[in-house]
Structure 1
Amino acid sequence: MAERKYFGTDGVRGRVGTFPITPEFALKLGWAAGKVLASHGSQRVLIGKDTRISGYMLESALEAGLAAAGLSAAFIGPMPTPAVAYLTRTFRAEAGIVISASHNPYYDNGIKFFSAQGTKLPDAVEEAIEAMLEQPMDCVESAQLGRASRINDAAGRYIEFCKGTFPAHLSLDGYKIVVDCAHGATYHIAPNVMRELGAEVIEIGTSPNGMNINEKCGATDITALREKVLATNADIGLAYDGDGDRIMMVDHLGNKVDGDQILFIIAREKLRAGNLQGGVVGTLMSNMSLEIALKQLGVPFIRAKVGDRYVLEQMQEQNWVLGGENSGHIIIADKNTTGDGIIASLAVLTAMVQHKLSLHELSSAVQLFPQVLINIRFSGGTNPLENQAVKQVAAEVEQKLKGKGRILLRKSGTEPLIRVMVECEEAELAQQYAEQIAAVIKEN
């Protein structure tokens, strides 16, 4: 695969106003993508965004670039990333564009593309767009220019799609649910989905102003959600991130239920229903207790590199339908083509209603092992993990853990850091072993 200049693992992302998240680059990117997609016989591209103030600027620039290349853009407004994937398929568009920086602060933004199938663009198409970005920009004849339109019922269509994943014979009647939308793209979707299925909904994080997205709320900070669940005696709390592809939960006692526990609940339910299809894909950061709990059910488990694109790659390779990360990205491939927070939360609610069990009871099968993370900065040059003393201390700790815990040492992909993670049943031991390894890395 060719080295990418602009596209990272999740499209183009950065700080607004700093290259490449500028109006000029968005214009050129729209044009380059339009040129490449038009060569495949494309006519229309969907553009969705989260609630960041910079979304207006970037969608206008992208639309102008697409039009200059002869492609028409259909705006769907603030919409979760998984909704853009779904709507791209259902409207038979040639591609979908999401303007979002997911769980990042409002001053960041990003642009990523979905194919007509609602999946990541093929590598060859991304490479062709990168090559086109190096060409001087031109404009098609006036008669061939693209047009802009707006799809007004996009939110309603996605709400119905989400509801369709919840069994028709079940209802959320009698459930009190706190929904935290992180002032992000699910603010007008998730509360309506839960209400229309019968729940009493208490909303927080549903008043976006362009700058409060992910600020002390949502999947990355569940403090407000926990407080609201306890104050209102709710049955469950749901927290989505800014673009709606992550989910974190809080049970009625105020305990956090993370992506690993959510993944287990969904896997066990799919196993009972006979539609698990193989096993489960986690990541290098997935808690060991998830692996143990799945093993007890006889469910195969493999680890991918950290990142939902790597989880999806492994799922496709194994032909499995379930995978996810402890951060709350859950991919249920027989329901949507990408991580979808609302659909994952409905899968857990299905298990609660079906078996008349609380989230606390459902998640108790996975008692998360304490994880200790230490980051050690190094001065570049040689990788400390290649050092013999570091290898030796890592082997000694592995031996002491004897399969009742694990260590993960990895070099950061973005800065000169070594990340040390030790996980085992006893928090004090995990801390002790992590510090022991970190000390040796610092010395070398």
Structure 2
Amino acid sequence: MGRKFFGTDGIRGLANTEPMTPATALRVGMAAGAFFTRGDHRHRVLIGKDTRLSGYMLEPALVAGFTAVGMDVFLVGPMPTPAVAMLTRALRCDLGVMISASHNPFHDNGIKLFGPDGYKLSDQAEREIEAMITGDAAPTLAAPEKLGRAKRLDDADGRYIEFAKATLPKGKTLKGLKVVVDCANGAAYKVAPTVLWELEAEVIPIGVHPDGFNINRQCGSTHPDLLQAAVISHGADLGLALDGDADRLVMVDERGAVIDGDQLMAVIAESWLEQGRLPRKGMAATVMSNLGLERFVNNLGIELKRTKVGDRYVLEAMREEGFNLGGEQSGHIILSDFATTGDGLIAGLQVMAALVESGKKASEFCRRFTPFPQLLRNVRHSGGAPLDKPSVQSAIAAAEKALGSSGRIVIRPSGTEPLIRVMAEGEDRKLVEAVVGDIVTALEQAAA
């Protein structure tokens, strides 16, 4: 059965347009609540959100749905996605919900679901819930005396703050670091600066004045210009930029240069290897991570397993292989010793703790490898299967032969738009540009 609602990361869309309407959120609450109502205990769900205006619309609709099937609701307000996953486990809830569209603009929103173990749901679970949302298997409503109740947890911020601090060894602080943290006017606007301050860093917070509209607007991990300027103007040692739901991180060194997820994973991998904290001497990263990262960790004796794009696929590989480190170039970094999903703040803490220990500047310490020249171009098409055309297949084969063992090509259709993404990387920038150009030209002609 094709899926109408669930995508690669929950349900997402334009606010107040299907599927992001109160009516659908109500049905999601009833369906997910019914799916996780098993056994005779009192069932609980925890709901967090980011700072979008539409969160005020979707949250009560979800509450109505959950309480209608007899599930009690804990409301935690604006809270990072990884905090919702953590609190779901800590409070022994049957289900966790995050209302967020991550790094998207304010006018989008989404609903992410976590099981009682804090992990995102399996495809099979999502299919069964979707069947109830669409009416193919309608949920059973609770009797009047068995309706659920809703309660706001006033100490949720403090619980996550203490959890985040505890990911550093006892006695370890960030004393001596001057840090700018950009919270993207999103879910971490209160907790992230507090964690850094309580760990004794000198903190300059920006992106901490959400108004319902300014989440991710020219700030955060997808727009690091603001952070770069702030780090330089304040003479800071480094900067951290989170996205709207704080599961993504990029950093900026004292010179204002961006440090992407690949470099951050390299820092953590080498640091954890030295500390004996990589039990399998392996990690997972997507096909988009730079070849330089792979060569760097391989030289350390660390295996790198490639996955499809998406943090859920990274996590699947980590669980299959027994890895405790994985992530994406975009800054989703999963540290499974601490979290069941990407956590930008906790990843940042690991990097900063190692930086303090080294006594080096961020520009030196956080540059572990020289990235291979990498080029990505998108080709829009009107449908059909241009990748199957012989001319396109011939262009791809020629490109692979030209790059040989000194580079690689990744070609993938977009899961949300009529686009084909063409990426190549290698030691020779001009060759990379040439092979990408040849493939794009072939695709454009095939799609014409």
TM-score range, shorter chain: over 0.9
- Give the distance between the partners of 2:109 and 2:290, measured in 1 at CA: 30
In the TM superposition, 1:353-368 aligns within 5 A as 353-368=356-371
Q: In the alignment, what sits opposite 1:408?
A: 410
Change (3 A) 1:229 1:35: same
* Superposed displacement of residue 124, structure 1: 4.1
Per-residue CA distance 1:202-227 (angstroms, 9 max, x = gap): 01100000110000000000000000
In the TM superposition, 1:255-294 aligns within 5 A as 255-278=257-280, 279-294=282-297
- Give the distance between the partners of 1:236 and 1:408, measured in 2 at CA: 33
Q: In the alignment, what sits opposite 1:99?
A: 99
- Give the distance between the partners of 1:62 and 1:204, measured in 2 at CA: 31
Q: In the alignment, what sits opposite 2:64?
A: 64
* Superposed displacement of residue 439, structure 1: 1.5
Matched, 1:299 2:298: no
- Give the distance between the partners of 1:363 and 1:200, measured in 2 at CA: 20
Q: Aligned to 1:159, which of 161, 179, 188?
A: 161
SS in 1 for 2:7: coil
- Give the distance between the partners of 1:333 and 1:101, measured in 2 at CA: 23
* One-letter code aligned to 1:96: G
SS in 2 for 1:402: helix
- Give the distance between the partners of 2:39 and 2:4, measured in 1 at CA: 23
Matched, 1:29 2:28: yes
Unpaired segments of 5 or more residues in structure 2?
none
Q: In the alignment, what sits opposite 1:20?
A: 19
Matched, 1:378 2:377: no
Q: In the alignment, what sits opposite 2:37?
A: 38
- Give the distance between the partners of 1:201 and 1:26, measured in 2 at CA: 38
Maintained 8 Å contact 2:240/2:252: yes
Q: Aligned to 2:342, which of 320, 328, 339?
A: 339
* One-letter code aligned to 2:97: I
- Give the distance between the partners of 2:417 and 2:185, measured in 1 at CA: 30
- Give the distance between the partners of 1:308 and 1:84, measured in 2 at CA: 17
Q: In the alignment, what sits opposite 2:74?
A: 74
* Superposed displacement of residue 237, structure 1: 0.5
Maintained 8 Å contact 1:28/1:137: no
- Give the distance between the partners of 1:195 and 1:418, measured in 2 at CA: 44
Maintained 8 Å contact 1:170/1:354: no
Q: In the alignment, what sits opposite 2:190?
A: 188
SS in 2 for 1:315: helix
* Superposed displacement of residue 139, structure 1: 3.9
Q: In the alignment, what sits opposite 1:442?
A: 444
Q: In the alignment, what sits opposite 2:88?
A: 88
Per-residue CA distance 1:31-80 (angstroms, 9 max, x = gap): 12222222344511101000011111111011111111111111001000
SS in 2 for 1:317: helix
- Range moving further from structure 2, 404-413 or 274-283: 404-413
Q: In the alignment, what sits opposite 2:231?
A: 229
- Range moving further from structure 2, 291-300 or 352-361: 352-361
* One-letter code aligned to 1:184: G
Q: In the alignment, what sits opposite 1:51?
A: 51
- Give the distance between the partners of 1:414 and 1:62, measured in 2 at CA: 25
* Superposed displacement of residue 137, structure 1: 6.8
Q: In the alignment, what sits opposite 1:322?
A: 325
* One-letter code aligned to 2:163: F
* Superposed displacement of residue 136, structure 1: 5.5
Maintained 8 Å contact 2:175/2:201: yes
Q: In the alignment, what sits opposite 2:202?
A: 200
Change (3 A) 1:34 1:274: same
Maintained 8 Å contact 1:235/1:251: yes
Change (3 A) 1:384 1:100: same
- Give the distance between the partners of 2:293 and 2:259, measured in 1 at CA: 12
- Give the distance between the partners of 1:387 and 1:163, measured in 2 at CA: 54
* One-letter code aligned to 1:389: S
Change (3 A) 1:59 1:236: same
* Superposed displacement of residue 401, structure 1: 2.1
- Give the distance between the partners of 2:264 and 2:21, measured in 1 at CA: 37
SS in 1 for 2:36: helix
- Give the distance between the partners of 1:264 and 1:104, measured in 2 at CA: 27
- Give the distance between the partners of 2:126 and 2:341, measured in 1 at CA: 18
- Range moving further from structure 2, 14-23 or 410-419: 410-419
- Give the distance between the partners of 1:53 and 1:360, measured in 2 at CA: 38
- Give the distance between the partners of 1:86 and 1:298, measured in 2 at CA: 32
Per-residue CA distance 1:63-122 (angstroms, 9 max, x = gap): 111111111111001000000000011111111110000000101101111111101124
- Give the distance between the partners of 1:361 and 1:303, measured in 2 at CA: 27
* One-letter code aligned to 1:152: D
- Give the distance between the partners of 2:140 and 2:421, measured in 1 at CA: 46
* Superposed displacement of residue 359, structure 1: 2.2
Unpaired segments of 5 or more residues in structure 1?
none
